[in-house]
């Protein structure tokens, strides 16, 4: 069992979730039940799955939840790119968040590898 609040990946994912909620405030109101809902859901899913996995019984289960978190990371990147392409949001606003998501994804893959090697 890991203390998720001390994990840098969880801390970074929480920062991103806050930023995504702030970005959602500038998206058009007519996207409230579509894109806004979806990007918020993904943003919350990333740190939530890291936290849930950390409380599981084994590193193997934790790795599974890290994989789910990584899937949500890529899903969120896609949705932010879509919002940019639809001109709902400026690149200057969205690109720093995408860069942070790529960083979290890299941290995630590295953490999964560490956990796998620990159990060999």
Give pLDDT tens digits for 47-95. Answer: 999 999 999 989 999 999 999 999 999 999 999 999 999 999 999 999 9
CATH number of the domain where residue 75 is located = 1.20.1440.60
Rounded to whole angstroms, the Cα distance separating 114 from 100 reads 21
CB-CB neighbours of 31 under 10 Å: 16
Domain extent at residue 41: 4-118
Q: What is the gyration radius of the CA atoms in the chain, in angstroms?
A: 15
Over the stretch 1-57, which tens digit does the pLDDT of each residue have?
A: 679 999 999 999 999 999 999 999 999 888 888 999 999 999 999 999 999 999 998
Burial of 100 (0-12, 13-18, 19+ CB in 10 A): middle
pLDDT over 70 (residue 110): yes
- For the chain, the domain total comes to 1
């Amino acid at each position: 069992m890991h203390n998720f609040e001390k994990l840098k990946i969880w801390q970074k994912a929480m920062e991103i979730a806050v930023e995504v909620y702030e970005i959602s405030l500038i998206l058009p109101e007519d996207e409230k039940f579509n894109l806004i809902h979806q990007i918020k859901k993904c943003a919350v899913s990333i740190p939530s799955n890291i936290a849930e996995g950390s409380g599981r019984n084994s590193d193997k289960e934790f790795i599974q939840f890290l994989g789910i978190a990584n899937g949500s990371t890529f899903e969120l990147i896609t949705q932010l790119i879509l919002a940019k392409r639809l001109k709902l949001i400026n690149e200057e606003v969205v690109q720093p968040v995408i860069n942070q998501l790529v960083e979290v994804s890299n941290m995630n893959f590295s953490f999964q590898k560490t956990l796998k090697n620990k159990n060999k």
